[in-house]
Amino acid sequence: QVQLVESGGGLVQVGDSLRLSCAASGRIASTYDMGWFRMAPGKEREFVGTISRSGGNTAYADSVKGRFTISRDNAKNTVYLQMNSLKPEDTAVYYCKAQSILTIKLTYWGQGTQVSVST
C-alpha cells in the first residue's frame, strides 16, 4: 500500500515558479514509476509528466515541455514537479500518481494540490 500526499501548491502570478512535492508513505524507489497529472475546472484530468523508477527517464506533455521538470529523491520517497514560467492555463489541481512496474493493478493517487496562476 502506498499513500501519496502532494504539497506546494498556491496562488502565483504569471511567470512565477512553484515546486510541488509528492511524499510517499511506502517505498517507491524500486518498483514505481511516478507521474503528475492535472485537472482544470470543467476539464478532464490530463497528463503532465512522468519519471521512471530510477529517475533516468522523463516524459512531458507538450504544453509543459521546457517549463516543467520532474525529479525524484528515492531516499526520501519524494517526487517533485518544478514549474517555471507559469501561465494562467496551468491553473488546475495537480495530482501525483504512483504506478507499479509489476502490475497495472497497483496504481495510487494523491489527493491533489491546487495551483492558481493569476494575470
List pLDDT tens digits, range 64-97: 999 999 999 999 999 999 999 999 999 999 999 9
List pLDDT tens digits, range 22-81: 999 977 777 899 999 999 999 999 999 999 999 999 999 999 999 999 999 999 999 999
What does the CA dihedral 74, 6, 40, 59 come to, rounded to 10 degrees? Answer: 0
Asked whether the predicted pLDDT for residue 99 surpasses 90, the reply is yes
- The average pLDDT across 94-102 equals 94
Distance linking the first and last C-alpha atoms of the chain? 40
List pLDDT tens digits, range 6-16: 999 999 999 99
